[in-house]
């Protein structure tokens, strides 16, 4: 019963809240959509935190997403032993990188008075949620080897079943608790998304690559 709530209900709740509140916030209080950069207040330590954190976490997240979206391709990719080794090793190092990064970010927020001054309650919640999540992920990868493979046979079918509105929680309920916490942690972060600065992820300014370099806005006529 508890498993049903956690693995069949909670994910829906998290996603629905994320979408509804995220959209509501975007259309009604867009002013608050911001990465809330604190680089202006503290520059040096930030570099050693934010760069490894973002590169680490973004690549890992993309790998999660890629394996979920095209499991067959992912399966082919790791079918060869050398490639599997390389994959696991890369994953582990990236995870380590993000752990180091977020630890530095947290330490910075504690120790630097200026960086601390702009912290809100939700900022703290987010930082610790993320730290827990990457540690759990790293631990899973370290202790329960070849996750890049068994992810395809546990989490992926579970996620697809959720997507098809026919939750099959048996794919994941028998997994060790660390792994289960990591999966739930993912949805917890989805839940946190609209209430924290995580909203900055969806505002990634890709359009900068092709927009006209100068922006002129006219009241009445269309810009040339």
What residues make contact with ligand HEM under the rule CB under 6 A?
35, 37-39, 46, 50, 54, 57-58, 61, 105, 109, 126-127, 130, 200-201, 204
87 touches 161 (CB < 8 A): no
Kindly give, in sequence order, each residue whose CB lies less than 8 Å from that of residue 209, ignoring residues fewer than 6 positions away: none
Minimum gap (Å) between residue 38 Cβ and another protein: 7
| Residue (87 or 189) nearer to another protein, CB | 189
Among ligand HEM, another protein, none, partner that 168 touches (CB below 5 to 8 angstroms by kind): none
Distance CA 137, CA 176 (A): 12
Q: How many CB atoms lie within 10 A of CB 82?
A: 7
Residues 38-67 that bind another protein (CB under 8 A): 38-43, 46-47, 50-51, 54-55
Q: Is 124 an interacting residue with respect to another protein (CB under 8 A)?
A: no
Return the ∠ at Cα 157 (arms to 133 and 172), rounded to 5°: 55
**Closest among 111, 203, 78, 99 to 142, alpha carbons compared:** 99
Q: Which residues bind another protein (CB under 8 A)?
A: 28-43, 46-47, 50-51, 54-55, 113-114, 116-118, 120, 122-123, 195-197, 199-200, 203-209, 211, 213-221, 223-224
């Amino acid at each position: 019963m508890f498993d049903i709530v956690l693995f069949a209900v909670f994910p829906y709740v998290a996603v629905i809240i994320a979408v509804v509140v995220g959209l509501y916030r975007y259309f009604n209080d867009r002013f608050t959509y911001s990465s809330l950069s604190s680089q202006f207040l503290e520059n040096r330590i930030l570099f050693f935190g934010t760069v490894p954190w973002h590169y680490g976490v973004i690549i890992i997240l993309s790998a999660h997403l890629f394996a979920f979206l095209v499991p067959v391709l992912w399966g082919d990719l790791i079918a060869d032993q050398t490639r599997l080794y390389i994959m696991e090793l890369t994953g582990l190092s990236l995870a380590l990188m993000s752990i180091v990064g977020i630890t530095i970010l947290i330490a910075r927020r504690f120790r630097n008075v200026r960086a601390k001054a702009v912290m809100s309650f939700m900022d703290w919640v987010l930082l610790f949620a993320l730290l827990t999540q990457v540690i759990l992920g790293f631990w899973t990868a370290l202790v329960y080897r070849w996750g890049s493979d068994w992810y395809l046979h546990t989490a992926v079918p579970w996620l697809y079943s959720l997507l098809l509105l026919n939750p099959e929680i048996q794919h994941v309920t028998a997994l060790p608790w660390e792994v289960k916490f990591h999966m739930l942690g993912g949805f917890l972060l989805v839940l946190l998304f609209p209430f924290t600065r995580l909203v900055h992820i969806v505002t990634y300014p890709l359009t900068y690559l092709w927009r006209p370099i100068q922006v002129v806005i006219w009241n009445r006529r269309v810009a040339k």
